[in-house]
Amino acid sequence: MSQEKLSISTRIPLSSGNSIPQFGFGVWQLGNGEEAKRAILWALEAGYRHFDTAAAYQNEGVVGEAIRESGVPREEIFITTKLANIHQRDGRQRHGFEKSLENLGLDYIDLYIQHWPVPGRYKESWAIMEDYYKQGLAKAIGLSNFRVSHLKDIMADATVMPAVDQIEFNPGMQDYETINFCKEHNIAVEAWSPLGGGMAASDPTIAAIAQKYGKSGPQVVLRWILQKGIIVFPRSSKQERIVQNADVFDFELAAEDCAKIDALNAWKRTGRDPDHPEGFIYRVLD
């Protein structure tokens, strides 16, 4: 797949006017203690500059602490956090945003996202997020787990278009209906669960491709996602794995190998289905 050479500092322009590092670090399930802080510091040391957190992860505070402790200038770092379902459901969206700013210890958030399309609330939440964008407190605003029907609903009344949509994307779950819609409307796509809940390390097709390139299965899958122009943020608490995940910029997958991974799509989610809100989690937060 011929394209400009990718690097850990490659950025994707957003419709909001800023740009986002295509490769980042996720902090879901890392906890909020010293182990999480160490992992974030290791990621910063390895060159990561994009960090994806959420109010529901309950570790925004440790993300902010690690960044301040690292000494890396704020302007070099891109922080994403997300509006929690509970704050949407209970009509406390403004409290949720202000709490995230406080937890992170920041003056602004680079990208603020609705975590899930909470029924009857997500349009109201979007209007509030537009206010924060217009005030400069959120440099970009976006969505997560929004399928085409949800996106169309938001866009029908929006005064600010979504800059991103973060969706589950991995070899076993490839939602091209949503991806193609986003591309048509200048919405950047982000991939959560990029390694498919262990699929990247266990699938024989991926293993054969990995052997060909002298890489691991997860490295091959991360590279496959990057070559699609999708933003990705693997996570790990292990320094060796954090460094290894970022070692995906010295090779390029051939088109036929990308096609083999494309063919693994089974529409098999590792997470919840956005079209079934009865399964959404409303974690109790302040």
Q: What is the set of active-site residues?
A: 57
- Bridge partner list, 173: 170
CA atoms within 13 A on the CB side of 68: 10
Q: At what angle do helices 204-213 and 255-262 cross, to 10 degrees?
A: 160
The owner of tokens 């202000």 is: 98
Query: What SS3 string covers 145-176?
Result: CCCHHHHHHHHHHCCCCCCEEEEECECCECCH
Are 48 and 24 contacting, i.e. CB atoms less than 8 angstroms apart? Answer: yes
The C-alpha atoms of residue 146 and residue 274 are separated, in whole angstroms, by: 7
Q: Return the H-helix or E-strand segment holding 279.
A: none
- Bridge partner list, 186: none
Classify burial at 16, counting beta carbons within 10 Å of its beta carbon; exposed 0-12, middle 13-18, buried 19 or more: buried
Alpha-carbon distances, residue 163 vs 190, 198, 218 (angstroms): 11, 29, 27
The C-alpha atoms of residue 283 and residue 57 are separated, in whole angstroms, by: 9
Q: Enter the tokens of residue 56.
A: 């529901």
Are 62 and 33 contacting, i.e. CB atoms less than 8 angstroms apart? Answer: yes
